[in-house]
């Protein structure tokens, strides 16, 4: 029997209390580990997203959002000035629109698709997951309580007129059949996705209608993005002609010669276009995109600190209570020759024993719960608050709060938290910190116990 053995045995002196303390400590350490796992996973995701951004600058009409009515579209003459800005290597210009399927009804959206009167013969290949009730992997659509979709609702089809038909939203397209189109030449040729082709029984050379005009499928591309699957690509002059928006541009992407010049070029473009355009670099876009993840990272960090502090407070109060209960015993130990250090060592061992037992439970809990908690935090952070802007449609009638979020945002939810030895070591480290902090106050009280008190208590 020595100080360590005595301390370990004392930890289980009151078994019910010890069990309760160990469980509470286990929960505290488990939560802190789960938060650490989430913190690391989200941090890695943010780093990977930022590392993957290119050296591009996006230019949109000021205040333009999604498919809002374009009253202040950018003009080709404005963007010509951008081409002459230093370090700008190239400029892809786009005009976007969205058409409902002929014969379908849409909720009362604001924007062109609500009021232009144009339709298309195409049916969207997008599978809808309305309020979580739909096919797994389908585009999520949240509808406000009491609202409903029209019975003959079909998701509208996106049309993209672009000078660079080789990529959409930064995603390079792979043409699987047919050939690419020339983005600078006006013509009634279009590129459609393989999903769109399959849904509408189309192949290269087939025709479909849009804007009351017959368009020919020039090529079929493949992509894994739901949003891009739903997009028909035509040349910019064609889209401007078909949609009656001659000279209008809703989106332009400038490619900068190097990442080092990105900030300088972004500033120069802003100065060139003034208040008529919103100019954001790919880094700024990445920052905006990962903002929800940054929030999760902050929340997980604060929760981690909170859980460790809670654990330390629990063990601290427990040890203070134990020391107060055993004041006489401490006095006796000192009276028969025990030094402060030896008595403290016994109580610190007791605290460490409780904490290590809690850590074992906590590590197991953390390892099991780390991934689900990370997923829950990330999923919640990506759900916009009620009434917030939606990507699919703006609320005007029935509230559709979220639409086809786009590839990047969807990718943000796919975070896998890995649990390595470092996490377990962190867990044991946290337990050690908790035990030391928890024992500190107890040690102070032990040092204050005077052995003479045991005589007076007789």
Task: Give residues in contact with other proteins (CB under 8 A).
Answer: 1-3, 6, 9-10, 13, 328-329, 332-339, 342, 450-452, 454-456, 458
By C-beta, is 7 or 438 nearer to other proteins?
A: 7
* C-beta closer to other proteins: residue 81 or 328: 328
Q: How far is the CB of 2 from other proteins (least distance, A)?
A: 6
- The H or E element that residue 445 is part of is helix 421-448
Dihedral over Cα of 311, 431, 381, 149: its sign:
negative
Query: 1 vs 51, which CB is nearer to other proteins?
Result: 1
How buried is 410 (Cβ within 10 angstroms: 0-12 exposed, 13-18 middle, 19+ buried)? Answer: middle
* Phi, psi (degrees; rounded to nearest 5) at 425: -65, -40
Q: Could you tell me which of 406, 409, 424 has the C-alpha nearest to residue 45? A: 409
Give the nearest distance from C-beta 456 to other proteins in angstroms.
Answer: 6
23 vs 332, beta carbon nearer other proteins:
332
Cα dihedral value 231, 235, 239, 245, nearest 10 = 130
- Which class for 331: exposed (0-12), middle (13-18), buried (19 or more C-beta within 10 A)? buried
Contact by Cβ (8 Å): 151, 162: no
Distance CA 436, CA 65 (A): 54
**Exposed e or buried b for every residue in 32-66, given b needs 16+ CB within 10 A?**
bbbbbbbbbbbbebbeebeeebebbbbbbbeebeb
- Closest-CA residue to 219 (of 244, 193, 242): 193
| Shortest distance, position 328 Cβ to other proteins, whole Å | 7
The Cα-based distances of 66 to 139, 167, 191, 355 in angstroms read 16, 18, 21, 53
Alpha helices by DSSP H, listed for 171-290, are 194-199, 226-229, 236-242, 262-273, 282-289
| CB 349 to other proteins: min, Å | 14
Instruction: State in angstroms the smallest separation of the CB of 49 from other proteins.
Output: 57
Shortest Å distance, C-beta 350 to other proteins:
11
Closest distance to other proteins from the beta carbon of 432 (Å): 25
CB closer to other proteins out of 72 and 339? 339
What does the DSSP 8-state code read for residue 191? E
**In contact, 363 and 30? CB cutoff 8 Å:** yes
For other proteins, the closer CB: 41 or 333 = 333
The Cα 278–Cα 68 span in angstroms is: 15
Least distance in angstroms from the C-beta of 44 to other proteins: 48
Q: Which is nearer to other proteins, 179 or 328 (CB)?
A: 328
Q: Nearer to other proteins by C-beta: 127 or 342?
A: 342
Provide, rounded to whole angstroms, the least separation between the CB of residue 18 and other proteins: 12
Nearest approach in angstroms of CB 316 to other proteins is: 23
Nearer to other proteins, 334 or 402 (CB): 334
SS (H, E, C) 54-66: CCEEEEEECCCCC
- Closest CB to other proteins among 349 and 381? 349
């Amino acid at each position: 029997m020595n100080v360590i053995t005595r301390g370990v045995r004392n930890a289980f002196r009151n078994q019910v209390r010890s069990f309760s303390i160990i469980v509470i400590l286990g929960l505290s350490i488990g939560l802190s580990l789960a938060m650490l796992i989430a913190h690391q996973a989200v941090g890695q995701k943010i780093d990977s997203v930022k590392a993957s951004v290119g050296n591009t600058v996006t230019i949109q009409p000021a205040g333009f959002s999604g498919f809002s009515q374009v009253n202040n579209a950018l003009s080709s003459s404005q963007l010509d000035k951008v081409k002459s800005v230093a370090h700008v290597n190239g400029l892809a210009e786009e005009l976007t629109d969205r058409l409902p399927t002929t014969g379908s009804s849409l909720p009362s959206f604001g924007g062109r698709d609500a009021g232009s009167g144009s339709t298309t013969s195409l049916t969207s290949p997008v599978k809808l997951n309305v309020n979580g009730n739909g096919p797994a992997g389908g585009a999520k659509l949240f509808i406000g309580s009491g609202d409903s979709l029209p019975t003959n609702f079909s998701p509208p089809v996106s049309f993209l007129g672009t000078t660079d038909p080789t990529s959409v939203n930064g995603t390079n397209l792979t043409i699987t059949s047919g050939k690419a189109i020339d983005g600078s030449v006006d013509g009634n040729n279009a590129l459609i996705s393989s999903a769109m082709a399959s849904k509408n029984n189309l192949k290269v050379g087939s025709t479909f209608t849009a804007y009351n005009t017959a368009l020919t499928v020039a090529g079929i591309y493949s992509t894994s993005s739901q949003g891009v699957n739903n997009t028909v690509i035509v040349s910019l002059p064609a889209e401007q002609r078909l949609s009656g928006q001659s000279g209008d541009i809703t989106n332009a992407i400038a490619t900068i010669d190097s990442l080092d010049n990105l900030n300088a070029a972004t500033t120069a473009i802003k100065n060139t276009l003034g208040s008529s355009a919103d100019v954001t670099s790919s880094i700024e876009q990445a920052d905006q995109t990962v903002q929800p993840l940054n929030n999760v990272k902050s929340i997980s960090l604060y929760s981690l600190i909170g859980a460790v502090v809670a654990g330390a407070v629990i063990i601290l109060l427990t040890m203070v209570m134990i020391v107060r209960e055993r004041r006489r015993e401490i006095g006796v130990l000192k009276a028969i020759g025990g030094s402060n250090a030896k008595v403290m060592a016994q109580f610190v061992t007791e605290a460490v024993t409780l904490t290590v037992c809690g850590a074992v439970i906590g590590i197991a809990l953390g390892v099991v719960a780390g991934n689900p908690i990370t997923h829950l935090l990330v999923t919640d952070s990506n759900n916009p608050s009620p009434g917030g802007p939606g990507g699919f449609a703006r609320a005007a009638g029935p509230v559709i709060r979220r639409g086809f979020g786009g590839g990047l945002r969807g990718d943000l939810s796919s975070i896998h938290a890995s649990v390595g030895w470092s996490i377990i070591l962190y867990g044991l480290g946290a337990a050690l910190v908790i035990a030391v902090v928890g024992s500190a106050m107890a040690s102070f009280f032990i040092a204050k116990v005077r052995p003479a008190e045991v005589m007076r208590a007789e």
